[in-house]
Amino acid sequence: MKKILITGGAGFIGSHVVRRFVQNYPDYQIFNLDALTYAGNLENISDIEKEPNYTFVKGDITDEAFIGQLFQEHQFDGVVHLAAESHVDRSIEDPMAFVKTNVIGTVNLLNAARKIWANATEGKRFYHVSTDEVYGSLGAEGLFTETTPYDPNSPYSASKASSDHFVRAYGETYCLPFVLTNCSNNYGPNHFPEKLIPLFINNIIHNKPLPVYGDGNYTRDWLFVIDHAAAIDLVFHQGKNHETYNIGGFNEWKNIDLVKVLCRIMDTKLGRTAGESEKLITYVKDRPGHDLRYAIDANKINKELGWEPSVTFEQGLEITIDWYLTHQEWLNNVTSGDYEKYYEKMYSPL
Ligand code: NAD
């Protein structure tokens, strides 16, 4: 039996990865390590908590002694590392939290893996899940490839870039077997509603303003989270050691166009007259250092491993919106308390 540690499995993407591994690999013992920060929510994975091959561990990856002990005790064969501070706006408010979790936390995991795999790396793998934001901003043309130079612009992307460098450095220096992926923006069920798509779905439901940064022309490449989880599964099992794969949906949207599509679908779902939700669009003060455009060239993972998205954007959005409409309690739970204060502070209208 293989022992796999997945970090950040109570968060958005991690919860889909944990579910997939627990359900698809009954012969693996899956350990989900999560500190349960504001973004971690055990409700996201309540359906699998009683599975015999699943164990939840509450703990902080910045705690070096605890991480060392956990690895010694369980002698993991593989690590899928997703735990992170993940919200760009929060990184502008508090960069140090991002340095601690994303950089120091990652190095703690690398050190612990290196120690237990010192004598035998056969069958071992450290998988680091990262973002396309490490590449910086594109102009109107071009795509990020695996060889695009790193050029991060926010404290979040700088911290992820740094962690990527540490992973590669451990591969070179200590022969740590690793794979790394850089993925575009995800959307789907369990997404914390500080991020664009769930934020807007929630605000449309409650007739609250839809805060659009700047002129709304910022462009992102969107991928359904279930497709990202499938790609992670594939790369973990079939990716080549010491390789990076970009993951994306070839699905670019200007924020303002995306918001209008969401408004249209929500008008229909909520039985509102056409155009009603669009009236909620409110332009807000721009984010400092805001990257204009991200777009991923996902040809390598497609050609080498045969991965491609399983749903269109329209299908993914339908599934996502239906999920939020039928999970009002989940939304209410995560948007009570501190969320309200944070929200008021971050998104004041111009
Ligand atoms: P998320 O914020 O929803 O979840 C992060 C999880 O990590 C939470 O459950 C949180 O409790 C946990 N965590 C945070 N700090 C921790 C610590 N110190 N110790 C242990 N656990 C801790 O994030 P997400 O959107 O699911 O992103 C997961 C990973 O994927 C991140 O590494 C992120 O950089 C990367 N990524 C995200 C996207 C995206 O669009 N969301 C795209 C590409 C890559």
Mind giving me the DSSP string for 60-121? -TT-HHHHHHHHHHH--SEEEE------HHHHHH-HHHHIIIIIIIHHHHHHHHHHHTSS--
Complex ipTM value:
0.99
CA dihedral over 282, 285, 288, 293, signed as positive or negative: positive
Positions marked active-site: 132-133, 156
Q: Is the pLDDT of residue 350 over 60?
A: no
**All domains of the chain, ordered by start, with CATH?**
2-187+222-247 (3.40.50.720), 196-219+253-289+312-346 (3.90.25.10)
CA dihedral over 145, 148, 151, 155, signed as positive or negative: positive
Which pLDDT band, with edges at 50, 70 and 90, does 221 fall under?
A: very high
Residue 286 has what pLDDT? 86
Q: Please work out whether the CB of residue 83 comes within 6 Å of at least one atom of ligand 1.
A: yes
- How far is 323 from 96, CA to CA, in rounded Å? 34
Of 21-25, 47-51, 138-142, 273-277, the poorest mean pLDDT is in: 138-142
What phi and psi, each to the nearest 5 degrees, are found at residue 19? -55, -45
Q: Please work out whether the CB of residue 192 comes within 6 Å of at least one atom of ligand 1.
A: yes
Å from CA of 37 to ligand 1 middle: 10
pTM above 0.90, yes or no: yes
Å from CA of 129 to ligand 1 middle: 9
| C-alpha dist (Å) from residue 217 to 193, 213, 254, 266 | 21, 9, 5, 21
Ligand 1 pocket test, candidate residues 7, 16, 31, 34, most atoms within 8 A of CB: 34
- What would the pLDDT profile of 9-21 be if each residue is shown by its tens digit? 999 999 999 999 9
Å from CA of 279 to ligand 1 middle: 33
- What would the pLDDT profile of 106-143 be if each residue is shown by its tens digit? 999 999 999 999 989 899 999 999 999 999 999 889 99
Task: Specify burial of residue 256 (Cβ count, 10 A radius: 0-12, 13-18, 19+).
Answer: middle
Which pLDDT band, with edges at 50, 70 and 90, does 343 fall under?
A: low
Residue 322 has what pLDDT? 97
Q: Which atom of ligand 1 is nearest to the CA of 185?
A: 40
- What would the pLDDT profile of 284-333 be if each residue is shown by its tens digit? 988 888 889 999 999 999 999 999 999 999 999 999 999 999 999 999 88
Q: Please work out whether the CB of residue 259 comes within 6 Å of at least one atom of ligand 1.
A: no
Q: Please work out whether the CB of residue 39 comes within 6 Å of at least one atom of ligand 1.
A: yes
Q: Is the pLDDT of residue 349 over 90?
A: no
Q: Please work out whether the CB of residue 302 comes within 6 Å of at least one atom of ligand 1.
A: no
Residue with tokens 């190095």: 107
Residue 333 has what pLDDT? 86
Residues 6+ away with beta carbon under 8 Å from 184: 132, 220, 221, 222, 223, 247, 248, 249, 251, 294, 295, 296
Residue 148 has what pLDDT? 97
Q: Please work out whether the CB of residue 101 comes within 6 Å of at least one atom of ligand 1.
A: yes
Rounded average pLDDT over 173-186? 97
